[in-house]
Amino acid sequence: MALERTLSIVKPDAVEKNHTGAIIARLEQEGFIVRAMKRVHLTRAEAEGFYAEHRGRGFFDELCSFMSRSPIVIMALEREDAIAKYREVIGATNPANAAEGTIRKLYAASVGENAVHGSDKPESAAREIAYFFAGYEVSPRA
């Protein structure tokens, strides 16, 4: 299995509750390398651009308000089989359905405010990493 990258976000609810460090530590324990990282407060328009594929869905407004409410921490993570492994570690979208020990089970309060984001497929990961990071920020140098 080749090295792969995924886009990770510690969402406003988890940053507000000071869970950022615990979440990053867990991801490092699971073998992810932090290739790039920053803390930003998105504008509403930036949140809408990031979630453009969800425009038209019932929760889009709520999601974009939430994601622009307060700062988030964004990371480009690298690991073998990163996309699938990351989604396994974070658990189901709705924390009520997330497996014991997953990040969403541990830190999320609801299906909307669910602590973390992760890319769902390689094309999304490439688009999402490019949305937030310039090429030199995720350079292949170790």
Q: Which residues line the annotated binding site for ATP?
A: 11, 59, 87, 93, 104, 114
Q: Tell whether residue 131 is a contact of ligand IDP (CB under 6 A).
A: no
- Closest CB to ligand IDP among 17 and 137? 17
Q: For the window 89-128, what string marks contact with ligand IDP as x by the rule CB under 6 A?
A: ----x-----------------xx-x--x--x--------
Give the shortest CB-118-to-ligand IDP separation in angstroms: 7
Calpha distance 34→31 (Å, rounded): 10
In contact, 34 and 77? CB cutoff 8 Å: yes
Q: Tell whether residue 85 is a contact of ligand IDP (CB under 6 A).
A: no
Q: Tell whether residue 63 is a contact of ligand IDP (CB under 6 A).
A: yes
For residue 121, what is the DSSP state?
Answer: S
Mind giving me the DSSP string for 23-67?
A: HHHHHHHTT-EEEEEEEE---HHHHHHHTGGGTTSTTHHHHHHHH
